[in-house]
Amino acid sequence: MEGINVKKISEFFKTLGHPVRLTIVLKLLDGKKCVSNLEELIKARQPNISQHLRLLKLNEIVDWKQEGKMRCYFLKNPQVVKEILKLFKRR
């Protein structure tokens, strides 16, 4: 409890604590996707998706790489996301 950065951890959870952001993360479990892919998969507008992606990036949940004219986002650690979701089911 002493060496623990409560602020950082709670921000991490807060980041996952929004339905659109969580949906993005779940979609990315299938593999990397560029913004326009996500736009088709999620009921949200492009600027909104970009805003959420920004937060996911800030919290080190996703990263991206440029591919042609598209920016493709992917999970930094898919395994951790999978296991967190598994734990949720046992909560």
Partner DNA sequence: CCATAATATTATCATATTCGAATATTTTTA
Partner DNA sequence: TAAAAATATTCGAATATGATAATATTATGG
Tell me which residue of 20, 81, 14 sits closest to 52, measured CA to CA. Answer: 20
Coil, strand or helix: which one is 45? coil
Which of a copy of itself, DNA, none binds 40 (CB below 5-8 Å, type-dependent)? none
Q: Per-residue x/- mask for DNA, residues 33 to 72, rule CB under 7 A?
A: -xxx--x----xxxxxxxxxxxx--------x-x-xxxxx
Which H or E run includes 62?
Answer: strand 62-67
The one-letter amino acid at 24: I
Q: Is 26 in the site for DNA (CB under 7 A)?
A: no
Q: Per-residue x/- mask for a copy of itself, residues 2 to 31, rule CB under 8 A?
A: --x-xx-xxxxxxxxxxx-xxx--xx-xx-
